[in-house]
Amino acid sequence: MEKVYEVRAYRWAGGQYEMTEPHIVPGKSREEARNRLAAHMGEGWKASEAFEAAFGGNLQLEQRLEIFEKLGYRIVRAERQAE
Which pTM does this prediction carry?
Answer: 0.59
Q: Does a structural domain hold residue 7?
A: yes
How many residues make up the chain in this entry?
83
Per-residue tens of pLDDT for the chain, all 83 residues: 778 888 888 988 888 888 888 888 888 999 999 999 999 999 999 998 888 776 555 556 677 677 767 777 666 655 555 55
Which CATH number characterizes residue 14's domain?
3.10.20
The sheet that has 51-52: what strands, in order across it? 23-27, 3-7, 51-52
Q: Does a structural domain hold residue 65?
A: no
- Residue 51: strand, helix, or coil: strand
Contact in structure between 30 and 62 (CB atoms under 8 Å): no
Angle made by CA atoms 4, 8, 11, in degrees to the nearest 5 = 145
Q: Does a structural domain hold residue 17?
A: yes
